[in-house]
Amino acid sequence: MPDKADLQSVLDRAVAGGRVTPEEALELYRHAPLHALGQAADAIRRRRYAGVEHIATYIIERNINYTNVCVTACKFCAFYAPPKSDKGWTRDLDDILRRCAETVQLGGTQIMFQGGHHPDFGVEYYEKHFAAIKKEFPQLVIHSLGASEVEHMAKGSGVSVEEAIRRIHAAGLDSFAGAGAELLPERPRTAIAPLKESGERWLEIMETAHRLGVESTSTMLMGTGETNAERIEHLRMIRDVQDRTGGFRAFIPYTYQPENNHLRGRTQATIFEYLRMIAIARIFLDNVAHIQGSWLTVGKEAGQLSLHYGADDLGSVMLEENVVSSAGAKHRSNLMELIHLIRTAGRVPAQRATTYEHLVVHDDPANDPVDKHVVSHLSSTAIEGGTAHPELRLIDAN
């Protein structure tokens, strides 16, 4: 083990604004005392957000899963159905627009349009749907998809990735959600998603999007059997692209859920591994503005703790979500509870926009919202009690 004084000197350098090497990040992730790691990460957060360091943000959004039909068959996924399966479905456009209307009514500002890699869906499908959403609800931000979907739709339509991005951006896509990153290093990515593009290709597509003016977030799926070194390599790959483009707004690590998928829970990340990752991400990703905690996968208590380990954002009141919920993430929350979690972590809650501007700062608890309708998973089919809207129809995928 490295000397604790040596580890502390690296942390002190990072707190002062110095850059940490991948080798140092791995040593810190493996060996630095948890509290020292968290203290350094929080100090970096406070320095970066001097003047508003007392604020932690959240967003109200809806994840509209438009189809579960998918050709990639990722081993960690419990959501997808193979083409021609009788379990496959696709939402019709009227259904999608009703969900958007409800999102607006509940104060939501963002749509995450995500689903499977349907063999019949090329660029034209996304152009049609994004244009329809923007026409009816111009106030909604479409923060959706990721490099994997772009690669799939471009091949399906026989166009370049650059053309696909230009066309869906023109139709209404505002930014990419960073979906499909999973694990970028070759060995763990091949092990869990052998039919997807490589991690290098994922980053190439994101770099193209950034160059075209379409920003994105970046993510990491923890706990599928990757090593500590591969986790740090994932961060290194993101940081290198960010040095060139500056297009990643945030980094969001989340944990593998073990139910109903081919990995069968053989390995999972612990809460301590997750908190260490939040902290090391804030320390190492000196060029990425925001670090988001994931209460949806690790639970509300761990999500709240992430605010003490370098996170400045607690994610969303997710009005609907079916993908990780299908794999066992059964955590639910609501607007009032999320505000309470932030406030009892010693921070002032603020509702944010997709681009992280503060929309509403809840600086006076007496003025906190009391609307009990703004709850997560209000119409998610993967969670019991979340099927509040049976009138929202599915159509046969085949």
Q: Tell me whether residue 70 is annotated as binding.
A: yes
Q: Give the integer Cα–Cα distance in Å for 144 and 85.
A: 25
Is residue 260 within 8 Å of residue 74, measured between CB atoms?
Answer: no
Q: Tell me whether residue 100 is annotated as binding.
A: no
Which among 376, 358, 360 is positioned nearest to 368, based on CA atoms? 360
Q: Which residues pair with 334 in a beta bridge?
A: 375
Please give the annotated binding residues for [4Fe-4S] cluster, written as ranges: 70, 74, 77
